[in-house]
C-alpha cells in the first residue's frame, strides 16, 4: 500500500510540474514580465471586435496591458505604430508585442519610431497586438497612441490583363463553335 501511495504522489507531482512548465512556456500566455497578467491566456484579454485596422489611445495609471485583435485577410503588409504621447508626462516603459500565437512574433521595447513596425503576411491570420505600459507612478498618468493596419497585396495589372485575354479567347472560341 505504501509503495502505491508513493507512486501516486510521484505521478501527481510530475504531472503538476509538467503542467506548470507548459503554462509558462506556451506562446498564447502572457509572459512573466507583465506581473499582474502573467499566465493569462492572451485571447481572453483581447478587447473589441476583430478588424483590419486599429486606431486607439490609452490612458495609463500605474500598469496597463491592452490586447487588440487584428485581421490579416490574406497576403499583404501589416504596419504598427506605437507612440508615447508624453502627456502629462512620459511613460516609464512601453512595449509592443504582435503575434498570431503560432510562429509570428514581433516584440518592440519602446516606441516604434516614425516608420513603425512593418512586416509581410503570407496568408490569412488573426493577430494579437498587445501593449504593456507603465506610468512613472500610480498617481501620474501617461498616454500612448496605437495605430495598426493591414494592407492586402493587390493583384498585379499583368495578371488582370492575362485573365481578361484568356476570358476573351474563351468567348471567341465559344462563339466560333456556335457559328459552325
CATH number at residue 65: 2.60.120.380
Is residue 178 in a domain? no
Greater pLDDT, 25 or 16: 16
User: How much is the pLDDT for 102?
Assistant: 86
Does residue 92 sit in helix, strand or coil? coil
Cα gap 50→72, rounded to integer Å? 10
Is residue 169 in a domain? no
Under 8 Å between Cβ of 54 and 148 = yes
105: nearest Cα among 42, 175, 180? 42
pLDDT at 58 over 70: yes
Taking only the tens place, the pLDDT of each residue in 59-81 is 998 999 999 999 999 999 999 99
Greater pLDDT, 24 or 139: 139
Is residue 164 in a domain? no
* pTM of structure: 0.67
Is residue 162 in a domain? no
For residues 123-134, average pLDDT: 93
User: How much is the pLDDT for 154?
Assistant: 78
Give the distance from CA 93 to its chain's centroid.
Answer: 20
Is residue 172 in a domain? no
Q: Which residue has the cell 487584428?
A: 70
pLDDT category at 165 given cuts 50, 70, 90 is confident
How many domains does the chain fold into?
1
Give per-residue burial for 62-71: e unless 16+ CB within 10 Å, then b.
ebbbbbbbbe
151 has which bridge partners?
77
What's the domain range around 42? Answer: 6-152
Is residue 66 in a domain? yes
Is residue 158 in a domain? no
Is residue 68 in a domain? yes
Percentage of residues in the chain having pLDDT higher than 70: 76
Cα gap 47→107, rounded to integer Å? 20
Amino acid at each position: 500500500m505504501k509503495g502505491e501511495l508513493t507512486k501516486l504522489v510521484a505521478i501527481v507531482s510530475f504531472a503538476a510540474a509538467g503542467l506548470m512548465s507548459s503554462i509558462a512556456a506556451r506562446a498564447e500566455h502572457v509572459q512573466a514580465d507583465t506581473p499582474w497578467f502573467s499566465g493569462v491566456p492572451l485571447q481572453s484579454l483581447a478587447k473589441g471586435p476583430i478588424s483590419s485596422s486599429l486606431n486607439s489611445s490609452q490612458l495609463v495609471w500605474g500598469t496597463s496591458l491592452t490586447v487588440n485583435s487584428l485581421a490579416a485577410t490574406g497576403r499583404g503588409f501589416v504596419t504598427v505604430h506605437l507612440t508615447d504621447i508624453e502627456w502629462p508626462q512620459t511613460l516609464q516603459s512601453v512595449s509592443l508585442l504582435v503575434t498570431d500565437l503560432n510562429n509570428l512574433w514581433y516584440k518592440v521595447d519602446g516606441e516604434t519610431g516614425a516608420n513603425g513596425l512593418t512586416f509581410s503576411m503570407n496568408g490569412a491570420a488573426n493577430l494579437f497586438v498587445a501593449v504593456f505600459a507603465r506610468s512613472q507612478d500610480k498617481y501620474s498618468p501617461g498616454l500612448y497612441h496605437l495605430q495598426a493596419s493591414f494592407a492586402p497585396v493587390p493583384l498585379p495589372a499583368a495578371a488582370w490583363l492575362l485573365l481578361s485575354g484568356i476570358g476573351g479567347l474563351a468567348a471567341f472560341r465559344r462563339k466560333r463553335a456556335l457559328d459552325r
